[in-house]
Structure 1
Amino acid sequence: MNLNPSLLLNSGHTIPQLAFGTFDAIRESKGNMTRAVEVAMSVGYHHFDCAMFYRNEKEVGAAIESSMRKYNVKREDIFVTSKLMCEKHAPEDVRKSCETSLANLGMQYLDLYLIHFPTSFKYKEGVEFDVHDPNSIVFECCKLEDTWKAMEELVSAGLVKSIGVSNFNKRQMEVILEACAIPPAVNQVEVNIHWLNTKLIEYCESRKIVVEGYAPLGSPGLMKGKVKSLLEEENVVEIARKHGKAPAQVLLRHGLQRGIVVIVKSVTPERIKANFDRITRNIRSTRSSDGMLSSFSTRAIVAE
């Protein structure tokens, strides 16, 4: 089996099923993400999930470029995603935003470009943006279908190979599907055993849209003290013990077996290597173990 199996997108391109996330949620010290990307490339990650909102595209792009040279990896053998920020939904801003991400990453094209969130807003002048402070922004009305048409033009221009959405619900996706010439190839949303998102996954599958799941481990750094860690759930620990694996490997394998792309992030070299461990794919799916992991959900959402 391929170390990193791929899924076929409705655009005709393939996407590696295990992705390395570059969201620096707790603002690690500068340089950690560079080292993390280099380690990820060394163990076999060829799929990198980026975004302008993460404010580290230059760092990530430089690490990808140097690692490609070091490990003799061609650009066509890696898959890079970026995302359109909320304040860039106006059709005239879409291409400029994409070109900025390309420049930051040092690339000629993106494999996938997503609308990061369905909402659009502008920053308040003179007020520092705070993701937790709604008073730091002013919401504006940019029609999703208009933003999407500008996204489609990126494909025609050769700047991106596939386009998609992120954090969209069924209703928001239907707005685009009813007006699109190019359907979304991907919907990236939170998926883990605390937030299974089963109905949305089934809907996307019915429309031939691949689901990417972020926070498969529940973002223990962000959620510490707020909800029980997925890595400590009794069912997860028991399955890991039976197979001689780490709880994180069990959680990642569960996502892969659901047929979605799994996005995992760490800045610890040992964890990066363990998460990609090809032996992880030898954790056999059984009805009982799948049921143990899929039968409960605390509805605790990391990204809300």
Structure 2
Amino acid sequence: RPPRRLRLRTREHAVAGVDLGASHCRVALMDIGGETLALREDPLSIADGPQAVLGHVERTLRTLLDESGRDAGGLKSIGVGVPGPVEFSTGRPVDPPIMPGWHQFPIPEFFADRFGPRALVDNDVNVMALAEQRRAFPDTRYLLYIKVGTGIGCGIVADSRLHRGAQGSAGDIGHIRVGDVEAPCRCGNTGCLEAVAGGAALARRLSALGLDATSGSDVVRLVKSGNRDAVRMVREAGRAVGEVLAGLVNFFNPDTVVVGGALAAVHDQLLAGVREAVYRRSHPLATHVLRIEPSRTGENAAAIGAGILAVEHALAPRQVDRVLSGAVR
């Protein structure tokens, strides 16, 4: 029998990518070719709890489906990025510091009950790393994505695949101790990278100097206005991140490091400190082809990455076999 060429009708099938931040929600509707069909952002506090937050996501997703003329039954997969540790095999958050009420909440089942597909849930930094590697640096096989915002985390792409570790907690660099600083961290320890170089930590230090700063966004505003203390602190934060990153570069030997998150909005100052520390403390062979770049997918990285996670699940061999077996009957 001669072979038959089958082509997926990518525009007819959709997936969703959901980015849940500390104070925002982004929902992207994508076709299974990876093209973004619609994207909506709303202010939303993750501390409102899972029922309120996921209820908002459900309503938003149904609105996007209606506006695009699609039926919820055509949704093939859903990806969700959350700002806390996730056991990827179950899709449940585990003791997330800034997500009260979310511990072990069954996010995948919430979406399965309402849309059919069981959601894939991951840490937001992981899906950001996926977005950067797939969209901005497709020729890179070994990539580290460093998110520098309120907290600090790292997404790891090894041989073009996300590396999550045994339970899904790989890349939690925000709680690596740096120097001899005794700054208290929300995790209960002292001297963590996040407590020294995170956006919230910098805002507290600037506030102590009498400046109007309560968040990483305020730090960015002060840097852009030319405030010398803010510029100095962001450069120092970059060096602290670079000290930790140098160890990762020596250990992992990536060819690309991408820096994103809220503080990456002033990447000239932040990356200056990062590059200084990495190139000073890393082995020459480990930095021979290394490039350290600002994020290219920007604020939509997590929503896009969650959508890509959903696309790749929908197009996994087992899923495709299921579609093809139905097509040839």
TM-score, normalised to structure 1, is 0.32
Larger radius of gyration: 2
TM-score, normalised to structure 2, is 0.30
